[in-house]
A and B are shown apart, each in its own frame.
Chain A
Amino acid sequence: MKVIEFCRYTKRNGAFVLNRLNFHVEKGYITGLIGPNGSGKTTLIRAIMNLIHPDEGEVRVFGQSYRERERDIKRRIGFVYDEDVFYNHLSVKEMKKIIASFYPDWQEALFQQYLHDFQLPEQRKIHDLSKGMRMKFALAAALAHEPELLIMDEPTSGLDSVFRREVLAILSRYIEDGNRSVLFSTHISTDLERIADYIVHIRNGQLMHCGSKEELLDTYVLVKGSAEDYPAYESDGKLLRSQQTPYGFEGLMSTADFANHPVRERVLSEKPSLDDILYYTQEGR
């Protein structure tokens, strides 16, 4: 089932264009949104939250259109943004009161449980919270109305690895019942390797991949060979991108091309990481 669906979605902003995007996010899974800086991840999330309006097409959430059901859709979404969006001069308790007032399904006991688990002091001012604590508060506030869809924009950037793992564990628990979904953007691909079921990969506003993480990882092969083997790979143009290493070369190519390559026995082939895919599919490398 589709929880988010982009239908020929086009948005132009100067030279940057999200161009006729057609893809969907599956219900009940964690979907990672990846792409290099400036690729359009945050724009895509703003589109899902209806913070920007399309030039053409539309985005449907829970099978509904923002044109008719904006309040209902947003009531079922929890959001965590990378940037400061709270009133920093307020305390955690005061800010919570404001957020809670917008959600009829607000679960105060659940929120208090998160505060306790995250060791967040209710009386502390938002501006006195560290980046990690602010993220914890944002997460607690986003989850306290038990949303069906959690949208997070770079939630783990700038956080230490211990807290990043805590966040990932929370997300894993959150989707356990199969009815809830998470979409989160990140440029820390190791986080996605740990928990994402599906990957949406965008670059320069273009959709590069939308499907399971395994499908994406199986699409490419990381090839490592000696300097003597490099001309054989470089000349046929099948190597998407490559770089010289002290031992020769390393590059990415499609699994199908590698399977048919005449000198494939002379090189090492590995399953790439998401980071490898991001790195080698980036333009200009």
Chain B
Amino acid sequence: MVQLLVKDIRIQQRFLVIGFVVIGIFFFALGAFEGLSLAVPAAIFSHFLIVVASKTDEKNNNGRMLASFPLLRRDIVTAKYVGILVFMMIAFLITIGWRMLAGIVFPANELPWWDVPSTVAALVLLLVFYAIYFPIFFAADSRIVPFLDLIVIMTIGGIVLLGMRMLEWLGMTSYISLQPISDMPIGIVSTGAICGGLAMLSLSWGISLYIYEHKSL
């Protein structure tokens, strides 16, 4: 499985460099994320790396090649999920590194700031997104994969909007309040949210495994 993770890094060395430069120059030097949380560029960079790695595997029947190597399909699925955590870590570390470097030159108030709630929110958002994305990725035809992230984003967005609208129609918005959550200590909320995200990802891994092990390649 380690070979699969190393493979994912090898196939996107170029994108790692591009991401590194884009974050450094565009986000920091040009101040595109001035006044925003550091979690925003880190989350975008994470998403870029994870999606590029999965899309690259679906080009030119690369999935068929991987399944012909001395691997189990379980290894291929598990590596994709471990890759989520690895690429998130890489993206966050690179972004923090750039923040530290930029801090030498620029005043702190012109740079993205770092805080726990926004970082947790970004991490949970990514975990939930990939918990939905990967089962569809493993089930879908390779022709859909290039647009899959957009499909998932629009589907989630659509469901959230529809849910909110339905609550409005039913006049139930007043019953829904985030107050109890915001009153809780940030550590408990963060831990709960991260654990929830990881639980969703674990369930998603099980679904993906079932789908991929029964799929004809």
A81 touches B64 (CB 8 A): yes
A85 touches B67 (CB 8 A): no
Closest to A99 in B: B69
How many angstroms between the C-alpha atoms of A88 and B11 in the bound complex? 10
Which residues of the partner chain B approach A94 to less than 8 Å between Cβ atoms?
Answer: 10
A98 touches B11 (CB 8 A): yes
Does B56 sit at the interface, judged by CB under 8 A?
yes
Closest to A97 in B: B10
How many angstroms between the C-alpha atoms of A102 and B3 in the bound complex? 7
Which residues of the partner chain B approach A83 to less than 8 Å between Cβ atoms?
Answer: 60-61, 64
- The minimal Cβ–Cβ distance linking B101 to chain A, given in whole angstroms, is 29
Tell me the chain B residues, 57-94 only, with Cβ under 8 Å from chain A: 59-62, 64-65, 67-72
How many angstroms between the C-alpha atoms of A75 and B3 in the bound complex? 14
- The minimal Cβ–Cβ distance linking A246 to chain B, given in whole angstroms, is 46
Does A79 sit at the interface, judged by CB under 8 A?
yes
Does A101 sit at the interface, judged by CB under 8 A?
yes
A88 touches B59 (CB 8 A): yes
Does A46 sit at the interface, judged by CB under 8 A?
yes
How many angstroms between the C-alpha atoms of A53 and B217 in the bound complex? 9
A90 touches B64 (CB 8 A): no
- Proximity string of chain B (47-60) to chain A, C-beta cutoff 8 Å, 1 when within and 0 when not: 00000000010011
Closest to B15 in A: A89
Does B7 sit at the interface, judged by CB under 8 A?
yes
Which residues of the partner chain A approach B214 to less than 8 Å between Cβ atoms?
Answer: 53
Which residues of the partner chain B approach A103 to less than 8 Å between Cβ atoms?
Answer: 70
Which residues of the partner chain B approach A101 to less than 8 Å between Cβ atoms?
Answer: 3, 6-7
Tell me the chain A residues, 84-139 only, with Cβ under 8 Å from chain B: 84-90, 94, 97-99, 101-103
A85 touches B7 (CB 8 A): no
- The minimal Cβ–Cβ distance linking B204 to chain A, given in whole angstroms, is 22
List residues of A whose CB falls within 8 A of some B CB: 13, 46, 49-53, 70-72, 74-75, 77, 79, 81, 83-90, 94, 97-99, 101-103
16 pairs of residues in contact across A and B, judged by CB atoms under 8 Å: A49-B67, A51-B68, A52-B217, A70-B72, A74-B68, A74-B69, A74-B71, A81-B64, A81-B68, A85-B64, A85-B68, A87-B60, A87-B62, A99-B69, A101-B7, A102-B3
